[in-house]
Amino acid sequence: MSQKKPYIIAVIGKGGSGKSVFCAISIMIIANMKRFKLFAVDADPTHSHLSDLLDVKIDKSLEAIRKEIIKTAAQGRESGKIKLAEDIDYLVYNAIVENKDFSLLAVGLPEGPGCFCPANSLLKKVISSISLDFDIVLIDCEAGLEQISREVISNVDTIIIISDISVRSIETAKTLLQNSKKFTKYKHIGIVVNRVRGDISYLRKKINDMNIPIFGEIPEDDNVIKLDIEGKSMRNLSFDTSIYKSIEKIIQKVLDFMYH
Ligand SMILES: Nc1ncnc2c1ncn2[C@@H]1O[C@H](COP(=O)(O)OP(=O)(O)OP(=O)(O)O)[C@@H](O)[C@H]1O
Ligand SMILES: [Mg+2]
């Protein structure tokens, strides 16, 4: 295991802004470079479909592993519990799907009532320990503030806030920016405007007033809409589409941060 800290990228934004599509295509781009050990985390428990967008079959979620850990701990004696603590990383590895050019972990949805706190604290542990084995970690976060304010992604290097062209989405981006400043130790943060069509100069001005850079703009893409309607993965997207090329530019920018 290489003990060098991996480069952690978190993708956040309003519900439905395009985080998962952005992450799926980014993963395809980074994987295609064949230069990095890439760990992709689908950290959204409620709208978990990064695996579908990438055509990856998830057998076990992190939540399933957490349940196994709780069950074993409840049965075990004290010595067994110490052993279990040592084994947690090993158990979590069972939930990671290893693909040719990237590995994927899905957090999964906790069953029954109760909050996501225990699931999020295990996720935080995974990000700080398992990810040491990788060069780049890319996290598709849940919408909302929970994973930021609970410091699940506190050790992040770059935060990408996805926003669509609606004023409401930019307002959410503003709140996410304030909370990222408060609860994380990011080195770079920027907005990606997604589903761009028509004149968005009003939006650029609003973002400028927020004092945050625009990492890039992604056009509304008919190929993505078609794949979405047909329930097909982003793997069917051609490399010469404008969406692919615009995300490639954004990833290049983020990788430049990584080297400097
Ligand atoms: N650039 C784009 N062009 C066309 N459609 C897009 C684009 N980006 C995203 N979409 C579509 O917008 C919808 C929401 O995208 P996505 O699921 O990636 O958002 P999300 O932020 O991950 O949502 P959630 O908060 O529910 O996890 C999907 O139907 C997706 O296909
Ligand atoms: Mg999503």
Domain CATH number, residue 25: 3.40.50.300
Closest CA to 161 of 52, 40, 148, 256: 148
Longest dimension (CA), the chain: 65
Ligand 1: atom nearest CA of 143 is: 25
pTM value surpassing 0.85: yes
The answer as to whether 146 is a domain residue is: yes
Percent of the chain at pLDDT exceeding 70: 93
Domain hosting residue 29, numbered range: 7-259
Going from the C-alpha of 211 to that of each of 32, 189, 205, the distances in angstroms are: 33, 11, 10
More confident residue, 77 or 128: 128
Closest CA to 142 of 28, 239, 41, 70: 41
Q: Which of 2-6, 210-214, 256-260 comes out lowest in average pLDDT?
A: 2-6
The answer as to whether 47 is a domain residue is: yes
Q: How far apart are CA 162 and CA 148, in angstroms?
A: 15
Q: How far apart are CA 114 and CA 19, in angstroms?
A: 26
- Confidence band (pLDDT; 50, 70, 90) for 227? very high
Listed residues: CB within 5 A of ion ligand 2 = 19-20, 47
- Confidence band (pLDDT; 50, 70, 90) for 1? very low
The answer as to whether 1 is a domain residue is: no
Assess whether pLDDT exceeds 80 at residue 175.
Answer: yes
Q: What is the pLDDT of residues 10-32, one digit of tens each?
A: 999 999 999 999 999 999 999 99
Q: Report the run of H or E that residue 189 belongs to, with start and end.
A: strand 188-196
Q: How far is the CA of 85 from the centre of ligand 2 (A)?
A: 31
Residue 125 CB less than 6 A away from ligand 1: no
Counting the structural domains of the chain, the total is 1
What is the CB-side half-sphere exposure of residue 184 using CA atoms within 13 A? Answer: 30
Q: How far is the CA of 75 from the centre of ligand 2 (A)?
A: 36
